[in-house]
Chain A
Amino acid sequence: MMKFFKYIAVPLGLMVSANAFALKELNVAYFLEWPSANQVAQVEKTYDERMGLKVNWKSFDNGNQMVQAIAAGDIDIAYSNGFVPQVLGYTKGVKIKVVGVAMTYAENDNCVVHKDAGITKKNAKKLEGKKVASPIGNVTHFKLLRTLKHLGVDAKKVKILPSSNADASSALARGDVAMACGFGGSLVRMKQYGKVLMTGAEQEAIGLKVFDVVTVGSKFLKKHRKVVTQFMQITEDANLAYNRYPARFYKTLSKASGMKMAGTIDTLNKFTFLTRAEQLTNDWMLGGIQKFAKEVADFYVEQGEIPKALSKAKYKKMVDASILGEVK
């Protein structure tokens, strides 16, 4: 009966791309102000040439909308989709799979306390009753809640104001909030007005994994395995080229991400682009991600944000490592 929905949705203009049948174009979601190594291949049209397709790169400012766009059929692959939106979407029944890790970035996603607030991790309890601007339902939000829990702060008593990444940094700049959380370019701006509550390294030490994934709609994956494999191969090549000599690509990536040179280099230095071999280990694609997915979902249930999580076995099925297995 999905046909019923389609026939209503098309006239309503909900479905823009009707090209799923004969694949001539590939729609890929990515983040602005989030310079990833494969953006070299994006701007140099390497993807288009090697796959023989027209690749449409569409920018988003949050992973939740990426997941929604995949559910609606407008996006085929989301490169660097936040892991938390991925898990939340999957838990709600969106048919999406993780085919790889885009990058890890503990230091590129964080909460910054305003310099006038006088709050550090030692007296973090003072955050109760104060305002904190943060995106909701994404990696930043998850990190915030986990950090608060670790520091013994009751998250229910903190006034968390749901805002976009960019708005959170504006609120901190104006001094409207005691703390703001964000990622990428916004985080770079936030740091001008204060200090991070916990460093990324400290957060990793308490068991927080901070990474983005490559997400593909299950249907698309089934139908166009080859395309997805090619996409991952080109990404792998771009990552390897970058890892060998990063400085060569700073200029291109600064332009591609729409960030200033200094911010780009700062952000890039805090990214790790895992190679195929590193991803195909128990820490990541062969068990770590599946386990972490269950942890994330259970944590959100515990926080009362979602009604229920899926079973361990279901989260195992969320990850498909076989594509990376075919990448050379």
Chain B
Amino acid sequence: MRKILDKLGFTNTNTERKTVTFGDASVVSAPGGRGWTWLSVGFFIILWCLASIFEWINPIFWPPIGAVWEQFVFIFTEGYRNFTLLEHIGLSLYRVLMGFFIGCLVGIPLGFALALSRVMNRLFDPIVEFFRPMPPLALIPLVILWLGIGESAKIFLLFLAAVWIMALATRSGALATKISKIHAAYTLNANKKQILFRVILPNALPEIFTGMRVCMGVCWGTVVAAELVAAEAGVGMMIMVASKFLSTDIVVLGIILIGVVAYAIDVVMRYLEAKLIPWRGKS
């Protein structure tokens, strides 16, 4: 029985035997157990197929799976509104990555500043706390008036979505460094620079990575909204324009594409996390 379950991917006797039965989080993220993934994904796909075959739902509200597939093939080969599908995805991806990158570039140093300098903390804390709970979408009207409808406005919105998350993640990561480690480094005659880069940064990295992953999710949410405003191309624009023509199949296609791309990015980030910070959770 155990072997069959192993083969189907519901259990993985090899990794499970090595540890306690409950409470060791590293087992949960270890390979194996993919059977459950297929079960949940498969359930929804089969439900959708059944709903399509038996026409349970009016296609205006949720399209049949075949229609979405047809739209995918059509848009992939013919494009949508003068842009190919890859251009739409590429442009959204570019906006997300640019906003994310600039957000990290500003947010991570800001986070360290907040954690490590009293003056900086007092200077920037009110600003960060004021902007942090503010949804970037609420700022769209202002951003259009200031920066117009071009790329810079969209990237600025994504930057706003990313920067505060990164600042806070970095700060909490830096604060989590055990003071005993810093004392130890000082006794070994480390200077300030070494303390920052050799002690605090490695300790903060796991939290920074978590922040980055949260950030990516928020950025994808924001890019769709940013593209609702006068975008020539992009997955968000695809969804918005299709909704005006009640083409729910294209709307759903756009949603699935965003989900797949965002998931792919998350997989890459998890891989990088495992490669770059193998010490996570083992301090």
Contacts and interface: CB of A to CB of B under 8 A. Distances in A.
Contact of B149 (A92, A93, A163): A163
12 contacts: A5-B57, A88-B244, A88-B245, A136-B244, A138-B244, A163-B229, A163-B230, A167-B144, A174-B149, A177-B149, A177-B230, A305-B245
Interface string B229-247: 1111000010011011111
A137 B245 contact: yes
Nearest to A174: B148
Given A1-B55, A167-B229, A176 B244 contact: no
A245 interface: no
A4 interface: yes
A92 B241 contact: no
A167 B241 contact: no
A162 B230 contact: yes
A2 B58 contact: yes
Nearest to A135: B244
Interface majority SS (helix, strand, loop, mixed), chain B: loop
Contact of B150 (A85, A164, A176): A176
Interface in A63-85: 64, 67-68, 71, 85
A174 B141 CA distance: 13
Contacts of B117: none
A64 B60 CA distance: 13
Interface residues of A, number: 35
B246 A133 contact: no
A306 B243 CA distance: 12
Given A133-B149, A176-B149, 9 more contacts: A68-B246, A71-B61, A92-B60, A93-B60, A136-B241, A138-B244, A170-B145, A174-B145, A174-B149
Given A1-B57, A4-B57, A161 B246 contact: no
Interface of B: 54-61, 82, 141, 144-145, 148-150, 229-232, 237, 240-241, 243-247
A133 B240 CA distance: 15
A62 B82 CA distance: 24
B230 A133 contact: yes
A89 interface: yes
B148 A171 contact: yes
B149 A161 contact: yes
Interface in A137-160: 137-138, 156, 159
Interface in A87-111: 88-89, 92-94
A159 B237 CA distance: 14
Interface in A235-266: none
Nearest to A137: B244
Nearest to B59: A93
B241 A162 contact: yes
A217 to B, nearest CB: 13
B246 A171 contact: no
Contacts of B150: 176
A167 to B, nearest CB: 5
Contacts of A156: 82
